[in-house]
Amino acid sequence: MDLERRHFDEMLLGSDGVRAPYAEYQKWFANEDPTRLSKKSKEAEAFFRRTGITFNVYGQAEAQERLIPFDLIPRIIANREWTKLSKGIKQRVVAINAFLHDIYHRQEILRAGIVPTELISRNEAFLPQMIGITPPGKVYTHIVGTDLVRTGEDDFYVLEDNARTPSGVSYMLENRETMLHMFPELFSQIKVQRVSDYPKNLRRSLAACAPQGCAGKPTVAILTPGIHNSAYFEHSFLADQMGVELVEGHDLMVVDGHIAMRTTRGYKNIDVLYRRVDDEYLDPLNFNPDSMLGVPGIMDVYRAGNITIANAPGTGIADDKAIYSYMPDIIEFYTGEKAILKNVETWRCSEPDSLAYVLEHLAELVVKEVHGSGGYGMLVGPAASKKELSSFAAKLRRNPGNYIAQPTLSLSTVPIFAKKGLAPRHVDLRPFALVSPEGIDIAPGGLTRVALKAGSLVVNSSQGGGTKDTWVLED
Amino acid sequence: MLGKTAGGLYWMFRLLERCENTARLVEAGFRIALTRSNDPASEWKSVVTTAGARSNYDAKYDTYEAAYVVDFLLRDPANLSSVLSAVEKARTNARMVRTALTTEVWEAVNEGWMGLKQTLKSPVKETDLPAVLGEIRRHSALVRGALHGTMLRNDIFDFTQMGIALERADNTARIIDVKYYTLLPSASFVGSALDNVQWETILRSVSAHRSFRWLNDENMTPASVADFLILDPRFPRSLSFCSRILEESLGFLAKDYGTRLTCHDMISAQRDRLRGHTIATVFDEGLHQFITAFIDDINAIGQQIEKDYRFIG
């Protein structure tokens, strides 16, 4: 009990009370028969399995397609809270796009000494091929999935900016569909903001970023690495929902200076390519020559301004965890405002003083690889054994520039529906922002990921995390 | 539509059709092995031959025993045409072309795949065989039913129909060829009194024993059976029927796209050849020669479709 009280729970207050956003839901829940809910929970799983809402786990030949466990207790956010969050996300997204444009053009921020030059010049995520290129509409990050965590009533932190190719939005949509299907009555009692417009908005937003020379209705397509990719379900889901083609590298080629897809009627030009393939695999002629996933010559078409690539190549530099630590300064530099959303205190292990501190306090900290994602290669100090700590310390000493460290945050919890009733579990939140010259549009809510093991702070689906439907209340 | 998608649809339905045909073939083999115990091995051998799996099978087994054959045709991952391999590949194709399928079709494919993967996880016991074969056939039937009930009649549908028609034509043709040879190796036997059980097996292996009887009473001559399987325009697995579906589907595509391609000329020529035949002229030409030419034609058309509609780059 002691342990649970240390964390902020978004639903339950200390003695029997619930926080205001959950009041209506709690009334409904109290009248529900737990047996019925258990049954519903199993139904949901069968539904996910049948419709093939699965993800692939790398390196697990046997259980290749796994389900992301779905928890039926929603995560509820008050409208007032959301307004502040979305304002903060917009500010950040604007700053990130300005930063990317600057970094690949005049580099004012380096000249001003705000971000150290070597952090850019020696960074693998910085693409020299992008220098001097301005993407159509000056948009670099067409889709952003900012990871947020909460530690208290008014304390939200940005954990990561995910400016490359954030995934998970299909779960946001399917989770809502599942809830609507299972508990339609809930949604007539409680007014929840809609998320179902996302695919339509995504298509419109992408089309609005089409190259200037594009005449008529822009042709949009999604580029997937193929059915073995961990997020393939999402790629095909979004293509389906948007009504656009889902292409692989071998469906595409350069025809008369444009990227064209091989159709049953011949080659057809693509104007906007929402690619879910990493930069380095995008173009074997310009990047990794062994890549079978990309399109030879696409960067030349891009340079000529004949295709929009979303997100733009080279945006990964804004995702870099060492750059992250400068975000408050970056925001202030480009917007002239203080950052609305807080950054987590971050030690850059490349700096000797920080490294010394991190090594000394390893058992209290979370250490991450600068370019890592998906929860791979990270250390959660408080959960690690002595042996794990000492072997991680050795890795850290060998290549300190590859790591950053952060305090172990006391992440908020939301209850899950467990066998013995409600049980608090740590959560994070990934809202999805769409960027185009027409503006920034954020789907209300986003994806809530939940660590299913008691006490665990790792919410990644590849590490056994689950998801919840996320509600933003109206008014 | 992407060329890859067209190819995915075409192969998905070819493979599902193949599963169903394999199940029916095993069922017929099983039946004859039960009812005629004198030489079950030769019966199973002809089943393997008809399934086009002889060389792979012979590489693995020395004898034609029921358990081996059934396992090889239903479950063996080394046999790329085994039901398990085909169901798996059909589902992979379905995932690839999922944006072209209705939810109903996708769910039918996916659910059937989940079920069959479980059913075929371990060797099928003889007592379970009828139920398992039933499940395999039901899987294909469900997907086809969902397809017919929910899909738009556009180019997507045309490619699925071509896959089904080609696979079916090939399957029926191979059954006729293999059986004809085994039963009547010498031309002098053509037209002589029949071994009813053998012909019954042929009819069963294409689910035609009922329809044939409706049309022919007890008059089971090789000519009447061959006529039915080759030329009857009403029987959905006859060569004539399948080639008509192929011509129709290709015709819809030509109209839809406003372009006639090489494959259209090929199917027209093939249809003309078939129309010129009666069962008497087929026997005059030689049934084996006729069937071999038919199989070659059909395969050539299949390859031309893949080229004309850019299945692969």
Q: Is it the case that residue A63 has pLDDT exceeding 60?
A: no
pLDDT of residue B181: 59
Higher per-residue confidence, B177 vs B14:
B14
pLDDT of residue B192: 47
Of B6, B99, B110, the CB nearest to A236: B99
* pLDDT tens by residue, B95-154: 999 989 999 999 999 999 999 999 999 999 999 999 999 999 999 999 999 999 999 999
Instruction: Give the least confident one: A174-178, A453-457, B190-194.
Output: B190-194
Q: Flag if B309 and A52 touch (Cβ within 8 Å).
A: no
* pLDDT tens by residue, A134-159: 999 999 999 999 999 999 999 999 99
B212-228 mean pLDDT: 81
Mutate which: B10, B98, B154, B253, vs A, most A CBs within 10 A: B98
> Alpha-carbon distance A3 to A202, whole Å?
42
Q: Flag if A248 and B310 touch (Cβ within 8 Å).
A: no
Q: What are the residues facing A470 on neighbouring strands?
A: A75
Token pair, residue A391, equals 């072997």
pLDDT of residue B185: 38
> Is there a cis peptide before residue A162, judged by omega within 30 degrees of 0?
no
Q: Flag if A263 and B155 touch (Cβ within 8 Å).
A: no
> Alpha-carbon distance A55 to A463, whole Å?
12
- Please classify residue B279 by burial: count the beta carbons closer than 10 Å to its beta carbon, then call 0-12 exposed, 13-18 middle and 19+ buried: buried
Q: Flag if A227 and B96 touch (Cβ within 8 Å).
A: yes
Higher per-residue confidence, A258 vs B226:
A258
Contact A142, A105 (CB under 8 A): no
Q: Is it the case that residue B205 has pLDDT exceeding 90?
A: no
A314-321 mean pLDDT: 90
Contacts of B78 (CB under 8 A, 6+ apart): B56, B60
Q: Flag if B4 and A253 touch (Cβ within 8 Å).
A: no
> Would strands A466-472 and A70-77 be described as parallel, antiparallel, or unpaired?
parallel
> Alpha-carbon distance B120 to B141, whole Å?
18
**Chain A residue with minimal CA distance to B94?**
A227
Contacts of A221 (CB under 8 A, 6+ apart): A239, A244, A245, A246, A247, A261, A270, A272, A273, A274
Instruction: Give the least confident one: A58-72, A87-101, A128-142, B170-184.
Output: A58-72
Of A417-426, B204-213, B256-265, highest mean pLDDT: B256-265
**Chain A residue with minimal CA distance to B6?**
A264
Q: Which residues of B touch A (CB under 8 A)?
A: 1-6, 92, 95-96, 98-99, 103, 106-107, 110-111, 114, 155, 257, 259, 309-310, 313
> Alpha-carbon distance A258 to A274, whole Å?
15
- Please classify residue A460 by burial: count the beta carbons closer than 10 Å to its beta carbon, then call 0-12 exposed, 13-18 middle and 19+ buried: middle
Work out the widest C-alpha separation in chain B, in whole angstroms: 58
Closest CA to A361 of A344, A373, A347: A347
For residue B111, which residues of chain A lie inside 8 Å, CB to CB?
Answer: 50
Instruction: Give the least confident one: A47-56, B160-169, B293-302.
Output: A47-56
Element containing residue A272 per DSSP (H, E): strand A272-275
**Chain B residue with minimal CA distance to A226?**
B96
Inter-helix orientation angle B155-183/B129-150, to 10°: 150
| Stated pTM of the model | 0.88
pLDDT of residue B188: 45
Of B107, B309, B313, the CB nearest to A264: B309
3-state secondary structure of A229: coil
> Alpha-carbon distance A142 to B141, whole Å?
44
> Alpha-carbon distance A122 to B116, whole Å?
53
Average pLDDT value over all residues in chain A: 91
Q: What are the residues facing A223 on neighbouring strands?
A: A247, A275
Q: What is the nearest CA distance from A240 to chain B, expressed in angstroms?
A: 5
3-state secondary structure of A125: coil
Q: Is it the case that residue A57 has pLDDT exceeding 70?
A: no
> Given the structure tokens 């045409």, which residue do they identify?
B81
pLDDT of residue A374: 62
Q: Is it the case that residue A2 has pLDDT exceeding 70?
A: no
Token pair, residue A229, equals 């990719």
Q: What is the ipTM of this complex?
A: 0.83
Mutate which: A56, A230, A264, vs B, most B CBs within 10 A: A264
How confident is residue B33, by pLDDT bands cut at 50, 70 and 90? confident
A59-76 mean pLDDT: 75
Average pLDDT value over all residues in chain B: 90
How confident is residue A56, by pLDDT bands cut at 50, 70 and 90? low
Q: How far is CA A359 from the centre of its chain?
A: 29
> Alpha-carbon distance B243 to B172, whole Å?
12
Chain pair A-B, CB pairs under 8 angstroms: 57
**Chain B residue with minimal CA distance to A221?**
B2
- Please classify residue A321 by burial: count the beta carbons closer than 10 Å to its beta carbon, then call 0-12 exposed, 13-18 middle and 19+ buried: buried
Q: Which residues of A touch B (CB under 8 A)?
A: 49-52, 227, 232, 236, 239-240, 245-248, 250-251, 253, 261-266
Q: What is the nearest CA distance from B302 to chain A, expressed in angstroms?
A: 15
Q: Flag if A264 and B106 touch (Cβ within 8 Å).
A: no
Element containing residue A328 per DSSP (H, E): helix A327-335
Element containing residue A234 per DSSP (H, E): helix A232-242
Q: Is it the case that residue A205 has pLDDT exceeding 80?
A: yes
pLDDT of residue A123: 85
**Chain B residue with minimal CA distance to A239?**
B99
Q: Is it the case that residue B227 has pLDDT exceeding 50?
A: yes
Instruction: Give the least confident one: A63-72, A146-155, A250-259, A320-329.
Output: A63-72
> Alpha-carbon distance A322 to A123, whole Å?
10
pLDDT of residue A375: 66
Contacts of A34 (CB under 8 A, 6+ apart): A421
Output the 3-class SS for chain B.
CEHHHHHHHHHHHHHHHHHHHHHHHHHHHHHHHHHCCCCHHHHHHHHHHHCCCHHHHHHHCCCCCHHHHHHHHHCCCCCCCCHHHHHHHHHHHHHHCHHHCCHHHHHHHHHHHHHHHHHCCCCCCHHHHHHHHHHHHHHHHHHHHHHHHHCCCCHHHHHHHHHHHHHHHHHHHHHHHHHHHHHCCCHHHCCCCCCHHHHHHHHHHCCCHHHHHHHHCCCCCHHHHHHHHHHCCCCCCCHHHHHHHHHHHHHHHHHHHCCCCHHHHHHHHHHHHHHCCCHHHHHHHCHHHHHHHHHHHHHHHHHHHHHHCCCCC
3-state secondary structure of A255: strand
Q: Flag if A262 and B155 touch (Cβ within 8 Å).
A: no
Of A51, A232, A247, the CB nearest to B2: A247
Q: Is it the case that residue A294 has pLDDT exceeding 70?
A: yes
For residue A265, which residues of chain B lie inside 8 Å, CB to CB?
Answer: 257, 259
Q: Flag if B99 and A266 touch (Cβ within 8 Å).
A: no
Q: Flag if A262 and B3 touch (Cβ within 8 Å).
A: yes
B212-230 mean pLDDT: 83
* pLDDT tens by residue, B155-196: 999 999 999 999 999 999 998 888 775 445 344 444 444 466
A437-442 mean pLDDT: 96
Q: Is it the case that residue A186 has pLDDT exceeding 90?
A: yes
Higher per-residue confidence, B37 vs A422:
A422
Mutate which: B1, B11, B95, B159, vs A, most A CBs within 10 A: B95
For residue B96, which residues of chain A lie inside 8 Å, CB to CB?
Answer: 227
A258-287 mean pLDDT: 94
Q: Flag if B313 and A250 touch (Cβ within 8 Å).
A: yes
Q: Flag if B95 and A227 touch (Cβ within 8 Å).
A: yes
* pLDDT tens by residue, B60-72: 999 999 999 999 9
Of B1, B96, B110, the CB nearest to A263: B1
What's the start-to-end Cα distance of chain A, in Å?
35
- CA distances (Å), origin A100, targets A261, A326, A327, A349: 29, 14, 12, 24
Contacts of A381 (CB under 8 A, 6+ apart): A361, A362, A363, A364, A365, A366, A367, A389, A408
pLDDT of residue B152: 94
pLDDT of residue B190: 47
Q: Is it the case that residue A16 has pLDDT exceeding 60?
A: yes
Q: What is the nearest CA distance from B32 to chain A, expressed in angstroms?
A: 38
